[in-house]
Amino acid sequence: MPGDAERLRAAEDENTLFALENLQTYPCVQARLANGSLRVHAWFFKIATAELFAYDPESKQFEPLVGVSPPSP
């Protein structure tokens, strides 16, 4: 059974993904996603450690953003 810290982190991750899903329900966002003029990403900032994480859809995990170059447009 996961501990409190693990459950909290899982809730934080799920909330971030829920917000991303909700954003994609807006017609103006849907239109721009469809025409390729907008990309959305799920990021999570852990204030206590000043770490930034990005959701990787392939691994279905939040991965730390350390020394990562942004993708080319």
Dist. CA 16–CA 55, nearest whole Å? 9
Q: Which burial class, exposed, middle or buried, applies to 52 when counting CB atoms under 10 A from its CB (0-12, 13-18, 19+)? A: middle
Dist. CA 69–CA 10, nearest whole Å? 26
∠ CA(42), CA(10), CA(24), 5° rounding?
A: 30
pLDDT in tens, 7-44: 998 999 999 999 999 999 999 999 999 999 999 999 99
Kindly list the domain boundaries of the chain, sorted by start residue: 4-64
Q: Is residue 68 scored above 70 in pLDDT?
A: no
Strand partners, 45: 52
